[in-house]
C-alpha cells in the first residue's frame, strides 16, 4: 500500500540496511543513534576494555527515570502523608513494592557503577589529552549522582531517611563560615522538617535530573568529539611517537585544498579547514579493524541494557527496599548513620569535624577534578604510570575501607563494634 510506504519513508529515509550506505545512514540520520560513529573499532568494543560501565550507568539512570516518574504519581512531599504513601505503595498499590524496589536498588547500583566507571577510566588513562574536560564532566556527574541519591534518601520520611539526612546535612555544616548557611539553605530551616522534605523533593525530581541529563548530553557529545572511546591499553604501542596520518593534511605536508580567505565570506566548520584535528586519528591498518556500528555495537549495547534491566528486576523481586518506622525527631537511633556512600565521610568526621568533614572531602573532590591537568605523563601504558596507579588504588582502598568501617564496624555512640558482636540497638 502506498500510504503505508509513504509514511514509512517519511520516517525512515535511509537506504536499506543491507548496504553499507544504509548502515551508515541508520546512525547519522537518526537523532538518537548519531551519538555513535558510523563505524567503530573492534577492539574498543571488547568487554574487558570498558566493562560497558558507562552504558550500565546510563541504563540504570533510564530505569530510575521511568520508575521515578511512576512513583511520583503516588507520592506527596509532605511529612506524615509521605510516609503513608510509602505504606500505600507497600500494601495497596498494584506492583508498588516492585516499583519502589527497582527505584531503590537501581539508585544504589548507579552510585556503585558511576564510581566503577570512574575507576575504569582512570586505570586505562582515558582522561588524558584530549579527554581532560570530559573527565571533569564525569566527576561532576558523579557528584550529581550522589546528590540525587542523597535527596532521594529523605523522601520515604521514615527513621532511616530522617536521621541519615540529619547526619548527612550536619556534615556539610562543618564548613567554616558558609557551612551553617548552606545547610539552612538546603533544609529550609535549622533542622530536617517539612521545608527540607519539599526542597529535597524539588531537587530530586526537577533540578538534579535536569542537570544530570544536560551534563550527560555533554559527556556523550565529548566522547565523540574527543575521538570516540579511548584505545584499549593493550593496543597501545610502547614509547613510540604514533605515526599519525592526518586525513587531509599532515603538519608537514601542504593541505590538499587551499582557498584564499575572503572577507566577504563566512566560513562554517563543515567546510574544508586546515590544521590538525584535535582528536586521535586512525592509521590505515587500524581502519581495517573497524566495523559498522550497526549491528556490532548496537547488539552489544542492547545486551548490556537487557542484562542491567533483568538484574535489577531480579533483585527487586526478592529484596524489599527498607522502610522503617515514621520519622520521629524526638527519637534518635544510636548510632544514626548517613547513607552508606557518605559513611566514609562520617567516619572521618568522627575523628575531626573540620579536617574530616570539610578539608579532606574538599581536597578529594578538587584532586579528582584536577587529575587530568596535574598528571603530565602523556603515556597511557600502565607500565609507564606505575606510581600514579598505585596512588589511585590507595585512594580507592582508603575510601572503601572507611565506608566498610562506617557501615559494619560502628555501633552505638560510634564505638568500634565488629559486625559479629551483637549490640541491641539503643534508642535514646
Partner 1 sequence: MERRLQQVFFGLSILALVLILAAEWQASTPSWKTYQRNFLQLEAQGEPNAVAKAAVLATPPEIHQVMLTGLQRVDRCTTCHLGVDDPTMKNAPEPFRYHEGLGPHIASKFGCTICHGGQGLATDKESAHGNVAFWQTPLLDRDYIRASCGRCHKEGDVPGVPELAEGRHLFENQGCRGCHKLNGVGGSIGPDLSEEGASLRSPQWLEQHFLAPNAVSAGSAMPNFHFTRQQARSLTYYMLSLTNADMGTYYSSVRLIPSPQYGRELFVEKNCITCHSVGGVGAKTGLDLLGVTKRHSPEWLDEQLVNPQLVYPGSSMPEYDLETNARKALLAFMTTATPADAQAILAGRKAELKPEDVAIEAGKQDFARFGCVGCHGTELQGGVPNPNAQGGEVPSLLHVADDYTKDEVIAIIRNGKAPPLDNAAGPTPPLYMPSWKHVLSDEDINRVADYLWSKQQKKESW
Query: ∠ at Cα 14 (8, 17), nearest 5°?
Result: 100
Compare residues 151 and 159 and give the one whose CB is closer to partner 1: 159
**Rounded to whole angstroms, how far apart are CA atoms 257 and 275?**
12
Name beta bridge partners: 326. 158
Query: Which residues have CB under 8 Å from 145's CB, separation 6+?
Result: 110, 111, 114, 212
Q: What is the dihedral of CA 95, 100, 105, 110, to 10 degrees?
A: 120
Q: How far is the CB of 336 from partner 1 (least distance, A)?
A: 15
Asked if 379 interacts with partner 1 (CB under 8 A), we say no
Tell whether residue 70 is a contact of partner 1 (CB under 8 A): no
Number of residues that bind partner 1 (CB under 8 A): 32
Tell me the closest approach of the beta carbon of residue 130 to partner 1, in angstroms.
31
Which residue of 310, 352, 377, 393 would you call a contact of partner 1, by CB under 8 A? 310
- State yes or no: residue 296 binds partner 1 (CB under 8 A): yes
The answer to whether residue 95 forms part of the interface with partner 1 (CB under 8 A) is: yes
DSSP for 198-219?
HHHHHIIIIIHHHHHHHHHHHH
Cβ burial, residue 144 (10 Å; 0-12/13-18/19+): buried
Look at residue 325 and give its three-state secondary structure: coil
Coil, helix or strand for 41? strand
Instruction: Report whether 205 contacts 116 (CB < 8 A).
Output: no
Minimum CB distance to partner 1 smaller for 198 or for 315: 315
Comparing CB distances to partner 1, the nearer of 158 and 226 is 158
Q: Is 290 a binder of partner 1 (CB under 8 A)?
A: no
Verify binding: residue 334, partner 1, rule CB under 8 A. no
Single out the residue of 122, 47, 115, 92 nearest to residue 299, CA to CA: 47
Give whichever of 97 and 382 is closer to partner 1, judged by the CB atom.
97
| 92 interacts with partner 1 by CB under 8 A | yes
Whichever of 70 and 244 has its CB closer to partner 1, that residue is 70
**One of 35, 257, 307, 398 touching partner 1 (CB under 8 A):** 307
Angstrom distance (rounded) from CA 133 to CA 278: 13
Binding flags for partner 1, 188-227, as an x/- string (CB under 8 A): ----------------------------------------
- Helix, strand, or coil here: 427? strand
Cell of 408: 559494619
Q: State yes or no: residue 88 binds partner 1 (CB under 8 A).
A: yes
The yes or no reply on residue 423 touching partner 1 (CB under 8 A) is no
Among 35, 62, 306, 398, binds partner 1 (CB under 8 A): 306
255 contributes a contact to partner 1 by CB under 8 A:
no
Q: How far is the CB of 15 from partner 1 (least distance, A)?
A: 21
In 188-347 the beta strands, taken as DSSP E runs, fall at 290-292, 333-334
Near partner 1 by CB under 8 A: residue from 184, 324, 375, 384? 324
| From candidates 151, 170, 293, 316, binder to partner 1 by CB under 8 A | 316
DSSP track, 219-231: HHHHHHHTTSSPP
Q: What is the DSSP letter of 326?
A: B
Q: 30 vs 328, which CB is nearer to partner 1? A: 328
4-9: long-range contacts (C-beta < 8 A, 24 or more apart)?
A: none
List the grid coordinates of 223: 566522547
For position 98 contacting partner 1 by CB under 8 A, the verdict is yes
Which listed residue (325, 377, 379, 393) binds partner 1 by CB under 8 A? 325
Contact pattern for partner 1 over residues 121 through 160, marking x by CB under 8 A? -------------------------------------xx-
Q: Which residues of 59-81 are buried (b: 16+ CB within 10 A; e: fewer)?
A: bbbebbeebbebbeeebebebee
Residues within the interface to partner 1 (CB under 8 A): 80, 84, 87-88, 90-92, 94-98, 158-159, 295-296, 299-300, 302-303, 306-307, 309-310, 313-314, 316-317, 323-325, 427
Amino acid at each position: 500500500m502506498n500510504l503505508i510506504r509513504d509514511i514509512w519513508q517519511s520516517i525512515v529515509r535511509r537506504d536499506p540496511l543491507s548496504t553499507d550506505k544504509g548502515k551508515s545512514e541508520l546512525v547519522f540520520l537518526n537523532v538518537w543513534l548519531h551519538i555513535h560513529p558510523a563505524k567503530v573499532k573492534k577492539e574498543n568494543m571488547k568487554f574487558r576494555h570498558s566493562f560497558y560501565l558507562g552504558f550500565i550507568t546510563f541504563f540504570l539512570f533510564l530505569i530510575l527515570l521511568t520508575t521515578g516518574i511512576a512513583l511520583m504519581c503516588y507520592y506527596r512531599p509532605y511529612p506524615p502523608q509521605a510516609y503513608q504513601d510509602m505504606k500505600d505503595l507497600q500494601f495497596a498499590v498494584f506492583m508498588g513494592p516492585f516499583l519502589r524496589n527497582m527505584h531503590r536498588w537501581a539508585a544504589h547500583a548507579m552510585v556503585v557503577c558511576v564510581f566503577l566507571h570512574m575507576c575504569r577510566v582512570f586505570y586505562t588513562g582515558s582522561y588524558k589529552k584530549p579527554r581532560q574536560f570530559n573527565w571533569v564532566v564525569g566527576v561532576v556527574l558523579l557528584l550529581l549522582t550522589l546528590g540525587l541519591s542523597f535527596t532521594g534518601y529523605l523522601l520515604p520520611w521514615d527513621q532511616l531517611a530522617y536521621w541519615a539526612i540529619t547526619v548527612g546535612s550536619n556534615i556539610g555544616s562543618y564548613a567554616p563560615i558558609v557551612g551553617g548557611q548552606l545547610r539552612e539553605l538546603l533544609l529550609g530551616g535549622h533542622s530536617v522538617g517539612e521545608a527540607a522534605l519539599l526542597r529535597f523533593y524539588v531537587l530530586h525530581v526537577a533540578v538534579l535530573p535536569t542537570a544530570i541529563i544536560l551534563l550527560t548530553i555533554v559527556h556523550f557529545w565529548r566522547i565523540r568529539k574527543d575521538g570516540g572511546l579511548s584505545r584499549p591499553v593493550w593496543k597501545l604501542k610502547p614509547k613510540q611517537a604514533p605515526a599519525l596520518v592526518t586525513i587531509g593534511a599532515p603538519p608537514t605536508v601542504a593541505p590538499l585544498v587551499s582557498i584564499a580567505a575572503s572577507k566577504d565570506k563566512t566560513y562554517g566548520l563543515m567546510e574544508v579547514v586546515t590544521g590538525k584535528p584535535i582528536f586521535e586519528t586512525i592509521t590505515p591498518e587500524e581502519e581495517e579493524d573497524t566495523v559498522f556500528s550497526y549491528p556490532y555495537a548496537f547488539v552489544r549495547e542492547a545486551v548490556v541494557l537487557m542484562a542491567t534491566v533483568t538484574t535489577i528486576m531480579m533483585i527487586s523481586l526478592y529484596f524489599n527496599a527498607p522502610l522503617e518506622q515514621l520519622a520521629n525527631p524526638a527519637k534518635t537511633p544510636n548510632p544514626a548513620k548517613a547513607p552508606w556512600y557518605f559513611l566514609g565521610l562520617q567516619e572521618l568526621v568522627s575523628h575531626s569535624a573540620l579536617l574530616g568533614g570539610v578539608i579532606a572531602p574538599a581536597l578529594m573532590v578538587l584532586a579528582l577534578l584536577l587529575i587530568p591537568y596535574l598528571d603530565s605523563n602523556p603515556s597511557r601504558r600502565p607500565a609507564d604510570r606505575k606510581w600514579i596507579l598505585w596512588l589511585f588504588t590507595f585512594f580507592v582502598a582508603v575510601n572503601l575501607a572507611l565506608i566498610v568501617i562506617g557501615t559494619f564496624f560502628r555501633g552505638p555512640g560510634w564505638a568500634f563494634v565488629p559486625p559479629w558482636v551483637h549490640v541491641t540497638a539503643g534508642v535514646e
